[in-house]
Structure 1
């Protein structure tokens, strides 16, 4: 995995058939850019999008670039796979990932495979997927998964179902010793308050970042996945207090023991990573 992608928080999609946006996407401030050959590209533009992506990859060698290819059951899959081992790619995202096709790709490619979990089969296969070699991070495709599950994303019950999927990805990533998973997009461009709540919710669930559909979402994603000043102050203070205490102790009315101190260390470590 290329430098920084283990802790990257923002992943900006750019349609593969919009080459005039490629360089702008790299300059937008996202930690990674996803050249999209799948949902963002119309069927009759697939070949052209692949050509545009290749031309751009041939010219750019210093960006954290990912390529989202079409699903394995798509007629465009094999042609997309021909671009997946480009030396300037940091990873290839497999749409509608399952264990069978992830295993096949990890055997065929040198480029790390990033499984996009957006089907029930993908959820069922998670424990097998994370045991594969040469993986990037898990990604959650909330919109497609909600369609496959038949749940309403706009309803609290539908969000509860997606939260179960988030937990499954977080657990599986931990099991496979992978970095925290990347959450699905927030589809509303003109709702910064909604984005903030979605990012805070995702972060609290243990997700490590979010995919973005527009550059204006990037600052909110970065802010939401960075430890708050309140948490930083608590972490520094409780660790300072622990230097003069033995074993468990009380701090600000709460019992503090090793797991709590480990959380404080994790908060400071995450802030250090996000500050670089």
Structure 2
């Protein structure tokens, strides 16, 4: 899940190119990237393309970002998205556990009415101060929440918070990561607007990786290699993880003079699981 590429739903000419890209995940967008007049067409294009599930043969994970749960497009989005064989539905503009539960009630009502058997998980955007304050409650409001995604543009820009100051970025990343950790879900880093600013992208991505985020959103294919590089496990990390797991299996409690108890073993196993997933890509 190192890299996630946003794909505007109203640009079907890009769909096959995105599928052939370096992205681990494709996020088809029905929300901000699509003008109001084009939303119906975007919904139709995305549903038609994903109905054949080309992402399964390509080894990609797929997410669809719907419009906000309280918007006019919400129910139409659900009717188009819920029957699809996708990995996650991305819910934007959620600010409280109550809103999440209301959104889930509407999702489950449509599933029941149309007799959908699939129960797709949720990736919830955390993109306002209120949402960040309520992040733990949101993540634990329903068992289908799988992860929290940071939205720094919406979180910072309206309030004059400088994104160029990495201390501000780290503070938001840390708060969301702790919420995700408490809830037992994954954390995914925000998209970076600078298409040619590799240094800035890598700085944000490295900060997120150090906090245990699983990957970073990308708004252009050129950013994919940067994300994949930053979030790839290093040879040193893989070797240490293998040694910790091997030592634990032999009953040892130290590696290179360092204690390795249950938290270290859990981390080592997670690293090796990630490597196995990357090797399948």
TM-score by length of 1: 0.82
User: 2:63 aligned with 1:70, yes or no?
Assistant: no
- C-alpha displacement of 1:141: 0.9
> What is the rounded CA distance, in whole Å, between the counterparts of 1:145 and 1:211 in structure 2?
15
With over 3 angstroms needed to count, the CA separation of the structure-2 counterparts of 1:265 and 1:142, relative to structure 1, is same
| Counterpart selection for 1:46 from 39, 49, 68 | 39
In the TM superposition, what are the counterparts of 1:207-218 in structure 2 within 5 Å?
A: 207-218=213-224
Give the CA deviation at 1:102: 1.8
Q: Return the alpha-carbon distance in structure 1 between the equivalents of residues 88 and 252 of structure 2.
A: 46
Closer, same or farther in 2 for the Cα pair 1:234/1:14, shift >3 Å?
same
2:170 match: 163
Looking at structure 2, the residues matched to 64 and 146 of structure 1 have their Cα atoms a distance apart, in angstroms, of 29
RMSD: 2.7
Greater percentage in helix: 2
Determine whether 1:103 maps to 2:96.
no
- Secondary structure of the 1:82 match is helix
Counterpart secondary structure, 1:138: strand
Distance in 2 separating the partners of 1:50 and 1:192: 32
Distance 1:58 1:246 in 2: 50
Distance 1:88 1:143 in 2: 30
Change (3 A) 1:141 1:270: same
Residue among 259, 264, 270 paired with 1:256: 259
Instruction: State the aligned residue count.
Output: 262
Q: Where in structure 2 are the equivalents of 1:1-276 lying within 5 Å?
A: 8-60=1-53, 62=56, 64-98=61-95, 99-109=97-107, 110-131=119-140, 132-154=142-164, 156=165, 159-178=166-185, 180-236=186-242, 247=253, 251=256, 255-258=258-261, 259-260=263-264, 263-276=267-280
**CA deviation after TM superposition for structure 1 residue 262, in Å:** 5.2
Supply the distance in 2 between the matched residues of 1:205 and 1:177 (Cα, whole angstroms).
Answer: 15
Aligned pair in 2 of structure 1 residues 85, 243: CA closer, same or farther (>3 Å)? Answer: closer
Q: Residues 94, 261 of structure 1: CA spacing in aligned structure 2 closer, same or farther, 3 A cutoff? A: closer
